Chain A
Amino acid sequence: QVQLVQSGAEVKKPGASVKVSCKASGYSFTSYYMHWVRQAPGQGLEWMGIINPSGRSTSYAQKFQGRVTMTRDTSTNTVYMELSSLRSEDTAVYYCARDTTSGAVAGNLFDYWGQGTLVTVSS
């Protein structure tokens, strides 16, 4: 069965960086794009970007351009999301979410989600 297992909660100081991992299993890792979506406490969902685990290509929401980097390691079937220059507004649960569509073109909606990683930014 498809599983996305994320790394544990993090507490960071303003200005620091955080790197969240998402280990995939139960399917062909390189066949499906992976997205990152975040959710501030008590708030809605915000799409951050997408990575193609097959070809490394990425696309980020303009809001996060310059601060976010998504990478992958095909030897461990893991994708990573690193967010830098953290501020209090970045306090949120970060989810990895698998794209619904296999192949060269992403569907851009999400069928399997990780359990979420809480990142708290506080001085």
Chain B
Amino acid sequence: DIVMTQSPDSLAVSLGERATINCKSGQSVLYSSNNKNYLAWYQQKVGQPPKLLIYWASTRESGVPDRFSGSGSGTDFTLTISSLQAEDVAVYYCQQYYSTPYTFGQGTKLEIK
């Protein structure tokens, strides 16, 4: 199984400031034949199911604000929120969809400082 490790486990950021969450995979999730990283990011607010934010490591899902961006390749990835809004308080998960079982990071809890 591909182990996904996120850092930090929790993060407190002031409104309007940048938030950065990291995700490291136990093996590369870059598929050489199409040069795509099989890495997604989800946001889960309290009491709600997860919401897809980013796929292919850097492609925003339709309707996701452009303050959310993803980067990275191979085994190291980053989710950045450029200017934190109150509604961004949530737990964020990375997920690899390179191989079964499709695995998630342990989550990063984002709060307002």
Contacts and interface: CB of A to CB of B under 8 A. Distances in A.
Interface of A: 35, 44-47, 59, 61-63, 95, 97, 100, 107-111, 113-116
B61 A47 contact: no
Given A44-B104, A44-B107, A47-B104, A109 B49 contact: no
Contact of A109 (B40, B100, B101, B103): B40
A108 B97 contact: yes
Interface of B: 38, 40, 42, 49-52, 55, 61, 93, 95, 97, 100-107
A78 to B, nearest CB: 18
Contacts of B102: 35, 47, 108-109
A71 to B, nearest CB: 19
A49 to B, nearest CB: 9
Nearest to B54: A109
Given A45-B95, A47-B104, A111-B52, 19 more contacts: A44-B104, A44-B106, A44-B107, A46-B104, A47-B101, A47-B103, A59-B100, A61-B101, A95-B49, A108-B97, A108-B100, A109-B52, A109-B55, A109-B97, A109-B102, A110-B42, A113-B50, A113-B51, A116-B49
B52 A100 contact: yes
A105 to B, nearest CB: 12
Closest 5 CB pairs of A and B: A113-B49, A108-B97, A61-B101, A45-B104, A47-B102
A44 B101 contact: no
B101 A114 contact: no
Contacts of A113: 49-51
B49 A114 contact: yes
Contact of A45 (B50, B61, B100): B50
A89 B42 CA distance: 24
A114 B50 CA distance: 10
Nearest to B4: A44
A109 B95 contact: yes
A100 B102 CA distance: 14
Contacts of A62: 101
B53 to A, nearest CB: 11
